[in-house]
Amino acid sequence: MAEQTPERSTHGLGPWQGPWPEGDRYDPELLAHGDTRNVIDRYRYWRMEAIVADLDSRRHPFHVAIENWQHDMNIGSIVRSANAFLADTVHIIGRRRWNRRGAMVTDRYQHVVHHEDVASFAAWARGEGIPIVAVDNVGEAVPVERADLPERCVLLFGQEGPGLSPEALAAASAHVEITQYGSTRSINASAAAAVVMYEWCRRYA
């Protein structure tokens, strides 16, 4: 674990002191050499598979989706926020490849799936009975703090710059926006995603 990795944290712990704990969730390598991963204390020394299994047992019922037509650099940060707010799954629409650096290895713990286009994504949502909530400051979007945000939903974000495509906006059953107070028309896509995920958690978590 001495190797420098994107997941390495300054708040890690050294080798386990005293008799080792019992249970297959513990990783012998981490117990022996220390755990410097960027995980909460609850998961210190746990195997990655055990952490994912525990997260799966209590994930929130909201999903996150992002359009990725121009290889958006914000996707990694959005995945990291989705992990922090315990989203069910992150859906990437469009290009399959995305820059994982911003995720800081959280994609190992977060379910991420791909959809070729908006039509296939919308078909998945209909099949699951999950409403799509588009987040973009266009048209008749309702400020998210006043919006009727469903508990079970998929929050759909556009890429930096162009925002959501017309097809994505048309696929949504609700449109919300983030209230702003300065001169800029929009905020960073990953920051917007974090704001809306937190608003969901403030209501339901």
List the pLDDT tens digit at each of the 205 positions of the chain.
444 455 666 678 999 999 999 999 999 999 999 999 999 999 999 999 999 999 999 999 999 999 998 877 899 999 999 999 999 999 999 999 998 999 999 999 999 999 999 999 999 999 999 999 999 998 889 999 999 999 999 999 998 778 899 999 999 999 999 999 999 888 899 999 999 999 999 999 9
Instruction: State the CATH number of the domain containing residue 78.
Output: 3.40.1280.10
Task: Answer yes or no: is 100 within a domain.
Answer: yes
Task: Answer yes or no: is 1 within a domain.
Answer: no
Please tell me whether residues 31 and 67 are part of one structural domain.
Answer: no
What pTM, to 2 d.p., does this model score?
0.92
Contact call for residues 197 and 87 (beta carbons, < 8 A)? yes
Contact call for residues 114 and 164 (beta carbons, < 8 A)? no
Task: Answer yes or no: is 88 within a domain.
Answer: yes
pLDDT at 69: 83
E strands present in the chain: 8-13, 35-37, 62-68, 89-94, 111-115, 132-135, 142-143, 153-157, 174-177
Please give the Cα distance from 7 to 42 (Å, whole number). Answer: 16
pLDDT at 107: 96
Please tell me whether residues 138 and 40 are part of one structural domain.
Answer: no
Please tell me whether residues 95 and 41 are part of one structural domain.
Answer: no
Please tell me whether residues 66 and 108 are part of one structural domain.
Answer: yes
Task: Answer yes or no: is 20 within a domain.
Answer: yes
Please tell me whether residues 132 and 177 are part of one structural domain.
Answer: yes
Task: Answer yes or no: is 46 within a domain.
Answer: yes
| Residue type at position 204 | Y
Please give the Cα distance from 203 to 197 (Å, whole number). Answer: 10
Task: Answer yes or no: is 198 within a domain.
Answer: yes
Domain count, the chain: 2
* Residue 49 structural domain: 8-56
